[in-house]
């Protein structure tokens, strides 16, 4: 799924909308130097060509690629941010448990229907920001509470800071009690 004729600065790569070819054609030293990789709109239903050779990759964007599966997702020990929005992913999130430093994950606009599908994310101890906007799972009763229970490391869910929500609810409660007293 890697595109040829890429623009590469060793620290940031934007491959955009170009033809696909496997990573083994790129020089190993260049691949190892890449820390950011943008494969948005490169069409593929699965992760192909992305290998563990991208060992220093910190940011990966696969927006609107058409992914239906994450099977074969490589272990990327330094990946911190993963953009997977607007694909057709409905499961297989256990493939992401090999990402020990992942702190930001965007799965918005995918076909995630239930909390059981998200259970593998509980193993991502560094995950503090998760976006599931436009996923069917948001319709689950007590969705937010259940997600924070499932992934205790979360601070932001769908772009909202849970601590801030709690503080706002407490403030509204205090104001309501003050109004009742008057």
The residue with greater pLDDT, 65 or 27, is: 65
List for the chain the helix, strand, coil content (%; round to 5). Answer: 30, 15, 55
Give how many domains the chain has, as a whole number. 1
Domain carrying residue 6: 2-181
pLDDT tens digit sequence for 91-126: 999 999 999 999 999 999 999 999 999 999 999 999
Contact predicate 66/42, CB 8 Å: no
Q: What CATH number is associated with residue 115?
A: 3.80.10.10
Q: To the nearest whole percent, how much of the chain has pLDDT over 70?
A: 85
Range with lowest mean pLDDT among 10-14, 45-49, 68-72, 151-155: 10-14
The model's confidence at residue 6, banded by pLDDT at 50, 70 and 90, is very low
Q: Which uninterrupted H or E stretch holds 169? A: helix 162-181
């Amino acid at each position: 799924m890697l595109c040829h004729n890429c623009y590469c600065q060793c620290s940031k790569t934007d491959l955009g909308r170009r033809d696909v070819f496997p990573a083994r054609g790129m020089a190993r030293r260049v691949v190892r130097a890449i820390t950011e990789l943008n494969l948005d709109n490169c069409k593929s239903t699965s992760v192909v060509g992305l290998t563990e050779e991208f060992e220093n990759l910190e940011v990966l964007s696969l927006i609107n690629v058409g992914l239906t599966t994450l099977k074969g997702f490589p272990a990327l020990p330094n990946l911190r941010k993963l953009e997977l929005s607007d694909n057709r992913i409905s499961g297989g999130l256990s493939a992401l448990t090999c990402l020990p430093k992942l702190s930001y994950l965007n799965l918005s606009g995918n076909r995630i229907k239930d909390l059981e599908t998200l259970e593998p994310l509980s193993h991502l101890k560094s995950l503090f920001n998760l976006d599931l906007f436009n996923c069917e799972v948001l319709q689950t009763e007590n969705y937010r509470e259940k997600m924070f229970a499932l992934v205790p490391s979360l601070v932001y869910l769908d772009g909202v800071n849970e601590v801030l929500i709690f503080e706002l609810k407490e403030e509204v409660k205090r104001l309501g009690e003050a109004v009742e007293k008057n």
